[in-house]
Amino acid sequence: MNQSGTKAQALKGTSFNLPGQTSFYKGKVRDVYTIDAKYLVMVVTDRISAFDVVLPKAIPFKGQVLNQIAAHMLHAVKDIVPNWVISTPDPNVTIGLNCEAFKVEMVIRAYLTGHAWREYKSGKRILCGLILPEGMKENEKFPQPIITPTTKASEGHDMDISREEIIREGIVSEEEYIQLEKYTRQVFQRGSELADARGLILVDTKYEFGKNANGIMLIDEIHTPDSSRYFYKNSYIQLQEQQKPQRQLSKEFVRQWLIENNFQGQEGQEIPVMTDEWIAQISERYIELYETIIGEKFIKSADEDMQSRIEKNIITALSALK
């Protein structure tokens, strides 16, 4: 609810016709406009996905949270690797350079949790070609972070893939893949240091890279609760010793709710009903994530006609690029 007691707006999607627009792509949570084949306008909506399925209701302020965390984090690593961002003209919008995306996502994990734990628990000891140690517990730290790439599916599920398969199948050249791994480890190290300063542990995350005439660039969002998982540092050891679930900052709580309600994105499964109370709870959790990760109070965007505001801010920013 907002101050007037009415339900907060949520941005479910956009359908702009922008100056110079050459294409439009609707992702799971982002609406992406290509301008003059040179720039990308990424509108981060309030849609939410889990298990590669977009859930039926949008979450107020989620898009703003993700967009503003990503902008902050990309700025914090730009000395390590160039990134695609030119400007963030609206709380829900980033404008940047159009890059040819590599068709892999670079997933890096410092702890055995989430998808990796589910695979491990089922008896698997090889993940993306890497042999995992025997006798590990859920949420236990790996001896060193491991990189477990996935294919980047345009629709449906991303699939685990090994370094060797990526190079053998020519998805990424060996030279470029070595550079992607190097950037992944460096950016993860910086992200871990930033998290540590906020009393958090950066558990795992994913990065996407692309290239243009200037070389390899970091694209999309980084270190957000949609792309990353955080634990609270001060309770980690005690909870591990007690074999209790870790306190997390991520959207894992949404996945867990879905699992408890018999949904994991499999055929024939029905998405459980999302009540207004549950949606408000998710929204509050995302705002908590922002304030904890960034260390600043979250300022909600004005409760107004979001579509008009966003379109106006995009057009003003694009005209400045001419």
Which pLDDT tens digit goes with each residue over 160-197? 999 999 999 999 999 999 999 999 999 999 999 999 99
> Mean pLDDT for the chain?
93
Q: For residue 134, name the pLDDT band (cuts at 50, 70, 90).
A: very high
Domain ranges of the chain: 21-100+253-321, 101-249
CATH number of 101-249: 3.30.470.20
Decide: pTM greater than 0.75.
Answer: yes
Does the domain spanning 21-100+253-321 belong to CATH 3.30.200.20? Answer: yes
Query: Residue 240's pLDDT is what?
Result: 98
Same fold, 21-100+253-321 and 101-249: no
Decide which of 2 and 321 is more confident.
321
Mean pLDDT of 96-111: 96
Contacts within 8 Å (CB) and 24+ apart, 12-18: 12/45, 12/46, 12/47, 12/58, 13/45, 13/47, 14/43, 14/45, 14/307, 14/310, 14/311, 16/310, 16/311, 16/314, 18/311, 18/314, 18/315, 18/318
Decide which of 155 and 84 is more confident.
84
Q: pLDDT by residue (tens digit) across 30-64?
A: 999 999 999 999 999 999 999 889 999 999 999 99
Whose CA is closest to 50, among 261, 231, 197, 219? 261
